Amino acid sequence: MYLNNYETIYILKPDVTDNVNLSLINFYKTLLKEKGAKNIVVQHRGRRHLSYNILHYYDGIYVQMNYQSNGNLVKFLEKSMRFNENIIRCLTIKQNISYSINVY
């Protein structure tokens, strides 16, 4: 089965503790592995000011996950994130990564 490259960024409430943040990262990383995702890379982007307020929050903690998977797993992951009370927003994009070799 062909796997696509995806990037999921989710924003946590600013009052989330480091322990909760780490447990969420581990939970989603494990979920991706169990469902067949490959090359999972998680980057903690830190607290940032939001462009506009979301649910009365002006700051959020950003976490970025890059992985290879199929579309069904992305739907499952986003549904799981929507039901998590600590996550105020999430977005997944499909990345078209193409490598070209220039031969002269």
Tell me how far apart the alpha carbons of residues 104 and 99 are, in angstroms, rounded to a whole number.
16
Instruction: Say yes or no to pLDDT of 36 above 70.
Output: yes
Task: Report yes or no on 69 lying in a domain.
Answer: yes
Range of the domain at 82: 4-95
Task: Report yes or no on 100 lying in a domain.
Answer: no
Q: pLDDT by residue (tens digit) across 40-78?
A: 999 999 999 999 999 899 999 999 999 999 888 999 999
SS3 30: helix
Q: pLDDT by residue (tens digit) across 89-102?
A: 999 999 876 544 45
Q: How confident is the model at residue 24 (pLDDT cuts 50, 70, 90)?
A: very high
Task: Report yes or no on 102 lying in a domain.
Answer: no
pTM: 0.84
| Selection from 2, 40, 1, 47 nearest residue 21 by Cα | 47
